[in-house]
Amino acid sequence: MQARLNPFGTDIAPKLVKHIVAAGKVVTTSSVPAATLELVNIRASQINGCGGCLDMHTKDAARAGETPLRLNLVAGWRETTVFTDAERAALELTEQGTRLADGSGVTDQVWASATEHYDEEQLMALVAQIALINLFNRMNVITRQPGGEYVPGQF
């Protein structure tokens, strides 16, 4: 796959990404476990078909100590036993928050499940992370940014 555009060859992208990354740093200061935030990034990127983000977040998660088993099972998390109840609630929130265009939005049941495991600050961090990764996914998918060349810690 060849990229349609080199975003960093434009004046806009570096300025925009700087602000998006700054917003992401706010989320990482929350008490949501870093592993959970990476699971959110990976699952949304799988749904959106974003190879660049999948490349980055699976490698960064592995570098941070995530196991190959859990990384390999994110797409089928419902049929596994390797994720905690809190992680499962975050993954379900991610799926529904990513698939808004499908029409049901985030159901009250999914929100209630998330509130059983996360306080309001953590919920806001999860919502923000879901929004941010979807933003990156959309920019990368629209411009066809390929995965495979990311070096952990590169950004």
In CATH terms, the superfamily for domain 21-142 is: AhpD-like (1.20.1290.10)
Task: Give, as one character, the DSSP assignment of residue 129.
Answer: H
Question: The pTM is what?
Answer: 0.95
Helix (H) or strand (E) holding 115: helix 108-117
For the stretch 15-24, contacts whose Cβ atoms lie closer than 8 Å and that sit 24 or more positions apart, written own/partner, are 20/132, 20/135, 20/136, 21/155, 23/128, 23/132, 24/129, 24/132
Helix 108-117 to helix 120-142 angle (10° resolution) is 120
Which pLDDT value is given to residue 8? 87
Spell out the domain ranges in the chain.
21-142
Q: What is the pLDDT of residue 104?
A: 84
pLDDT digits (tens, 9 = 90+) for 131-140: 999 999 999 9
Mean pLDDT of the chain: 96
- 33-72 pLDDT tens trace: 999 999 999 999 999 999 999 999 999 999 999 999 999 9
